[in-house]
Structure 1
Amino acid sequence: MTTLFYLFSNVFHIYATYQFSNVFLQKKKESAKSDVVLFTLYYIINSCAYLLFGNWIINLLSNFVPYCLIAIYHKNKFIYSIGSSFILCAVLIVLDTLVVAIQSVLNIHSIFFEQGFVSNIVMVAFVNIVSHSFFKKNQLNVSLPVMYYITVIIIPFVSIIIGYLTAVKLNIVSLICSVIILLINVDMFYLYDNLINLFSEKYENNIIEQQNKAYLNQLHLMQESQMKIRFLKHDMKNHIINMQSLLSAEKYDQLKDYLAETNDYIYSNNVIIDSGNETIDSVLNYKLATLENNSVEKSYHVVLPEQILISSFDLNIVICNLIDNALEALSLLGENDEKKITIDIVYKQGYIKILVGNSFDGIIHKDKRTRKNDEINHGIGLKSVQNIAEKYGGILKTDVADNWFETSVIMYEK
């Protein structure tokens, strides 16, 4: 029965190690099938080493060597493979020592502790916290709510208590209860991972949808502009005759008005920003169109090259979030409040600087990220902007003075 307890417990030990490899190793998407074979062999080697020898050094090597070979199989550098294997063994030793120390201090005698079930639960929880906190596994680097980490800690803790109470004697009932508890923990972490991925996909789709609308808007503007130019070319002969007659008659004021009217006709296509970068122009023209017919004081300065070595997708996330925040702040102002927005986007040698400033009602949260107290559902936009800025070796900075809020982002080309 003890052997059976160990074999079931070791399944979850290998699962925890697999999760660990997903964080620390570089893998291809198509490697999932090969991982099933590799970690099955890992399980067999590790289990046989423990059951045949029962020596802690051999047991440690049976973790180190298979994991290192798996890392090399995935074409990770040899030094990196050795290093990550050492980290794995160090984590295993620390967690086992911690569990044994707690068991000794509290004088706990339970199969659930002695057969490694507790260590494996702690290992899975540890890997999930590390992956989502430090390695930012979610696709768009959106920070997770505090409730996620509370749940990741509470559920394993409660599971350990339940396991301790149920798995007192060495029998089949204790084994079934222990396996069920481990399955609940694995299922919970799997569910959370999928929810995070779904959230990231939804966020990404929302950005892509806004980008597509912006491109469509820009296309309509271009088509409208081209159509007006075609009409103007078609009637150019008549326009020239009219202007020549006004010039000959020395009717300069009328000629001036005629030229102004022609100019207004050409440029009355709602093109707000024309920086030279079609991708950024389309986003800005789409976002800023809502401000054209209201009392907001506007100041735009956008000068960009046609090509920038920064992902257009990442740039759109940054610009859309900053402008959305500014527009929301302006919408909260009263009719008699001063409304102003400033946008300054410039490219300099090797980096791009984005500055968005706006007047607001003076109400803001202490972290300068949102005017709302609900940190879980709000302020995510600026957190995402900060993560993208850091991705390109840059920074996000927010400044507040009186009723003026200003956000600046610097991103360096890769």
Structure 2
Amino acid sequence: MKFVMIAELLLILFSNGIRFYAVKRYIDFFAAREKCLWKYNWILYTFACIGTYIVSIIFESPNLNIISNVIALFLLACPYKIKLSKKFLMTFIIYSINLLADIIVVQLLAGYVPGQRVGSAYQFITSLAILIPTAFFSEFTKKKTQDSLPLMNVFILGMIPLVSIVCMHSIATLTENNKPVVLTVAFSLILINSFLFYLYYTLTQFYVAKMNEKKLEQIIDVYAHQLDVVQESQEHIKKLRHDMKHHLIELSAMAQQDKNKDMMRYLEHMEKFMLNPAEKVSTGNKEIDGVLNYMLRRADELLKIVNLDIQIPKSLYRNNFNICVILENLVDNAVRESSKSDEKYLSISVRVQKDILIILIENSYSGSIVQKGNIFQTSQIDTSIHGLGLESVKQVVEACGGDIKIEYTEKRFWVQVLLYLSNIVEN
């Protein structure tokens, strides 16, 4: 009997631990971890978990439980460098979620009678109910940085505590609260949920690492390709410089004989010799030149018409990363889509006007466009052609405080992006 009591108290403590783990995920949603001034804030969570547990066990007073939980939540919000009003609001919202879960569980499942103590099994169920929304809350935050697994994985994660609640309630009802059975199932579910949440966290870290590795590989490919382009252009210049004396003698002789047409043809030949076919863009801006030259490698092979109008300063701003992400997605989509059309047309214009970077990309396409809200899909087998790429671009443009405009006809697709350079510098 004593063993059962100890196990029941441990279950309540573990349930409180799950509750405060959920609280931590809620706080991470409302306030970025970077704003936490205390590196070891897990100590606060430990004290809050044990402190509220002791108050609930010793005093068994609903009013004291409310006060201790509210104080604990506010103390957990204190280390964050945010406004005091936001700390109060965060405390109120998180406690309201806890209270709502309590009410739903004890009223709908436990058949609560005023004055009656809620069993440890239903305290455990309440903690799981509080935990469920955190899976979707945290993923909503990660979507801004695209460091998250697909939505289906998040849905499955949220279903794990929900299935555990159903199992726990069923066992408690069918066994008429047979404490040894209920406690055994409860601790088993705690282990299952802990292992699965840890596994999900590990998979997320692995997924993010793989995505970053993939991005890094592409960046290396871009720079390697641009280095090859530059080296090839330098070889052309070296050869021309080596033969410059001969060229000057030849041009001088033509000039003395008034052979203007021959001179023009000769100069055109020299110009073609100097030009590197792989160097589509040469503005002096290494990052943007590299991305465009890399993304346009297939354009000559797949398309009939490629028009380029790139007029940007050599030093656009401190970091070209956001612009490169936008150009990479838009050009990749445009080349792929236009290659499937009969016209095979692509036009890219990038220029700066009055402190505004204007990107305009026009391409031909085949099939039809399906617009669902703000999401565009094509009738092609791969419906993500314009969908995912454009969504990624929209997120970056929004983060930079810019604007994006999309238009299309039966045969042409236009995307125009406006980026205010002053905003980009700040980002």
**Category of TM-score, reference length = shorter chain:** 0.7 to 0.9
Aligned partner of 1:353 among 351, 358, 369? 358
> For the Cα contact (< 8 Å) 1:129–1:149, is it kept in 2?
yes
CA offset at residue 340 of structure 1?
A: 0.5
Aligned partner of 2:240 among 232, 249, 270? 232
Partner of 2:406: 398
Partner of 2:132: 125
Instruction: Report the CA distance shift for 1:140/1:381 in structure 2 as closer, same or farther (over 3 A).
Output: farther
Distance between the aligned counterparts of 2:326 and 2:202, measured in 1?
25
Partner of 2:91: 85
Instruction: Report the CA distance shift for 1:404/1:199 in structure 2 as closer, same or farther (over 3 A).
Output: farther
Instruction: Report the CA distance shift for 1:70/1:142 in structure 2 as closer, same or farther (over 3 A).
Output: closer
Partner of 1:411: 419
CA offset at residue 153 of structure 1?
A: 4.3
Query: For the aligned residues, what is the CA RMSD?
Result: 3.2
Aligned partner of 2:275 among 267, 270, 284? 267
Instruction: Report the CA distance shift for 1:114/1:411 in structure 2 as closer, same or farther (over 3 A).
Output: farther
- Higher RCO, 1 vs 2 (CA within 8 Å, ≥6 residues apart): 1
> For the Cα contact (< 8 Å) 1:112–1:163, is it kept in 2?
no
> For the Cα contact (< 8 Å) 2:106–2:112, is it kept in 1?
no
> For the Cα contact (< 8 Å) 1:394–1:410, is it kept in 2?
yes
> For the Cα contact (< 8 Å) 1:353–1:408, is it kept in 2?
yes
Instruction: Report the CA distance shift for 1:396/1:152 in structure 2 as closer, same or farther (over 3 A).
Output: farther
Q: Partner amino acid for 1:325? A: N
Partner of 1:68: 74
Q: Partner amino acid for 1:402? A: E
Equivalences for residues 331-350 of structure 1 within 5 A: 331-333=339-341, 337-350=342-355
**Helix, strand or coil for the counterpart of 1:341?**
strand
Distance between the aligned counterparts of 1:189 and 1:405, measured in 2?
43
Partner of 1:43: 49
Distance between the aligned counterparts of 1:89 and 1:156, measured in 2?
20
Aligned partner of 1:188 among 196, 202, 218? 196
CA offset at residue 39 of structure 1?
A: 1.4
Distance between the aligned counterparts of 2:276 and 2:404, measured in 1?
36
Q: Partner amino acid for 1:202? A: K
> For the Cα contact (< 8 Å) 1:167–1:175, is it kept in 2?
no
Percent identity at matched positions?
A: 28
Equivalent residue pairs, number: 408
**Helix, strand or coil for the counterpart of 2:366?**
coil
Question: Comparing 266-275 with 98-107, which one deviates more in the overlay?
Answer: 98-107
Partner of 1:55: 61
**Helix, strand or coil for the counterpart of 1:45?**
helix
CA offset at residue 116 of structure 1?
A: 1.8
Provide Cα deviations, 1:229-249, integer angstroms capped at 9, x if missing partner: 233223322221121111112
CA offset at residue 47 of structure 1?
A: 0.8
CA offset at residue 26 of structure 1?
A: 2.8
Partner of 2:170: 165
**Helix, strand or coil for the counterpart of 2:343?**
coil
Distance between the aligned counterparts of 1:246 and 1:294, measured in 2?
41
CA offset at residue 61 of structure 1?
A: 3.0
Provide Cα deviations, 1:201-239, integer angstroms capped at 9, x if missing partner: 333332332222122222222222223223322332222
Distance between the aligned counterparts of 1:295 and 1:376, measured in 2?
21
Distance between the aligned counterparts of 1:153 and 1:15, measured in 2?
15
Distance between the aligned counterparts of 2:66 and 2:112, measured in 1?
27
Stretches of structure 1 lacking an aligned partner (at least 5 in a row): none
> For the Cα contact (< 8 Å) 1:10–1:47, is it kept in 2?
yes
Provide Cα deviations, 1:360-414, integer angstroms capped at 9, x if missing partner: 1124444323445777999333222222222122344432210222233333423
CA offset at residue 23 of structure 1?
A: 2.0
Q: Partner amino acid for 1:316? A: C
Instruction: Report the CA distance shift for 1:188/1:217 in structure 2 as closer, same or farther (over 3 A).
Output: same
Aligned partner of 2:156 among 132, 151, 156? 151
> For the Cα contact (< 8 Å) 1:298–1:340, is it kept in 2?
yes
Check if 1:381 corresponds to 2:389.
Answer: yes
Check if 1:14 corresponds to 2:20.
Answer: yes
TM-score, normalising length from structure 1? 0.86
Distance between the aligned counterparts of 1:140 and 1:245, measured in 2?
64
Distance between the aligned counterparts of 2:70 and 2:314, measured in 1?
50
> For the Cα contact (< 8 Å) 1:6–1:115, is it kept in 2?
no
Provide Cα deviations, 1:35-93, integer angstroms capped at 9, x if missing partner: 43221111111111212223333323323333333333344444433332222212212
